[in-house]
Amino acid sequence: MPWLGGLQTGRGAAVLIKRNINNVRRMTSHPTLPYYLTGAQDGSVRMFEWGHSQQITCFRSPGNCRVTRIRFNYQGNKFGIVDADGALSLWQTSTSGNAPKPYLTLQCHNKTANDFVFVGSSSLIATAGLSTDNRNVCLWDTCHTLVIIQIYSCAAGFSCHESGSTVLALASKQQLLLSGGRKGCISVLDLSLKIQRQSFQAHDSAVKALAVDASESCFMSGSAEGNIKVWSMSTQSLLHTFSNEHARQSLFRNLGTGVMQIETGPANHVFSCGADGTMKLRLLPDALSLYCSGVKNDVRFIM
């Protein structure tokens, strides 16, 4: 898959980086250092430095299960990987070039794992996936996990999303965890009380992406049909809909997976990308003005 950096404003485009990395499906960048990780369909995970073509380290070799998500913790000293077999592995961030191994591996879901987030300190981790007991969102306390005898400490399990949880987002200041499901529902989970506050129908198809704004006053969801919606965090009421933002169309039907990722930045910047092959940047007003006056479908740039 070619990785392109640049922006397109109408007619022209500036390409910053271009290289071919086969079968890459997931990427994440280090929070402070110029490194990024790639996760591939063949299960491999590699670290690169921006501006350099050769990999620094191969953390997982090809032949492992398909990577579904990679994330660094806030400090950047460790990262995690979840895969289609339902496993979570935790690694120390290393640029030594040696063949490192995970310091912890958990079987979080017995069908598949789709996403995870570090909650506060890196010892508490929330995972999303599909399990036969319907506990499709789980909290894991890795400080109390005894690796030698393989006793895994599940701090809490939430029975939500009958067909499995697809994506997570954390509102850390409010200790709220958002979970999206395959049938279009979003669940709001209170981590301090370990209860499900609310579940509501957000989309007509699977929720593929979630993001919380910096003030935690609103959050965004993206669906498999390509729609993006903005919601109030306090009331879960719909503030605005951007229809068909990343819908990949053919003559007969929608193709692809719609919205693939949403990221928020400083000053209400929102990035989104999807199956139509574009990345878009928007600048949203604050949640109150968004609710009162609406917002134009004003894309700042498309790449």
Domain boundaries, the chain: 202-303
| pLDDT score recorded for residue 162 | 87
For the stretch 147-176, pLDDT in tens is 443 445 677 889 999 899 999 999 999 999
More confident residue, 247 or 39: 39
- At the top level of CATH, the class of 202-303 is mainly beta
Q: pLDDT category, 54, cuts 50, 70, 90? A: confident
What is the pTM for the complete model shown? 0.86
- Of the chain, the percentage scoring pLDDT greater than 90 comes to 61
> Mean pLDDT over residues 284-289, rounded?
64
> Mean pLDDT over residues 286-291, rounded?
58
User: Residue by residue, what is the 3-state secondary structure of the chain?
Assistant: CEEECCCEECCEECCCCEEECCCEEEEEECCCCCEEEEEECCCCEEEEECCCCCCCEEEECCCCCCEEEEEECCCCCEEEEEECCCEEEEEECCCCCCCCCCCEEEECCCCEEEEEEEECCCCEEEEEEECCCCEEEEEEEHHHCECCCCECCEEEEEECCCCCEEEEEEECCCCEEEEEECCCEEEEEECCCCEEEEEEECCCCCEEEEEECCCCCEEEEEECCCCEEEEECCCCCEEEEECCCCCEECCCCEECCCEEEEEEEHHHEEEEEECCCCEEEEECCCHHHHHHHCCCCCCCEEC
| Whole-number Å distance between alpha carbons of 133 and 129 | 11
- Of the chain, the percentage scoring pLDDT greater than 70 comes to 81
Q: pLDDT category, 12, cuts 50, 70, 90? A: very low
How high does pLDDT run on average in the chain? Answer: 84
For the stretch 196-236, pLDDT in tens is 999 999 999 999 999 999 889 999 999 999 999 999 999 99
| pLDDT score recorded for residue 300 | 67
| pLDDT score recorded for residue 266 | 82
> Mean pLDDT over residues 262-290, rounded?
82
Q: pLDDT category, 36, cuts 50, 70, 90? A: very high
More confident residue, 13 or 7: 13
| pLDDT score recorded for residue 3 | 36
Q: pLDDT category, 11, cuts 50, 70, 90? A: very low
